[in-house]
Amino acid sequence: ALLKNCKMVVTDSGGLQKEAFFNQKFCIVARTETEWVELVENNFAAIAGSDYKKIISAFHSFDKKELSFDMPLYGNKVGEKIYNEIVKLVG
């Protein structure tokens, strides 16, 4: 419920970064790197580490943005595509 009703999250969790994206929320990463670089490259997440100024800067940047998540990273109907590929593999 918290993720559903927020505009952005601050986390050091790798899983929550992706969960935030799928819930159409911006993410400030409180680590110095991320395994989800595509989220940073597409401006859905920002790496801030524990640097106060970077966290505040990312917060203000995301706070000014409109939420516009059209799933450009994975396209539409991803689940259906995965299902079809699995069906092809298992026959």
> Domain holding 33: CATH number?
3.40.50.2000
Residue 52 placed within a domain: yes
Quick check: is 2 in a domain? Answer: no
Whether 1 maps to a domain, the answer reads no
**Residue 68: which domain range?**
8-90
Residue 3 domain flag: no
Q: For residue 72, what are the CA distances in angstroms to 4, 7, 76?
A: 21, 19, 8
| Number of domain units in the chain | 1
Q: Which residue has the tokens 């524990």?
A: 50
Q: Is 26 domain-assigned? A: yes
Phi, psi of 10 (to 5 degrees): -120, 125
pLDDT in tens, the chain (91 residues): 789 899 999 999 999 999 998 888 999 999 999 999 999 998 999 999 999 999 999 999 999 987 666 655 566 677 788 888 899 999 7
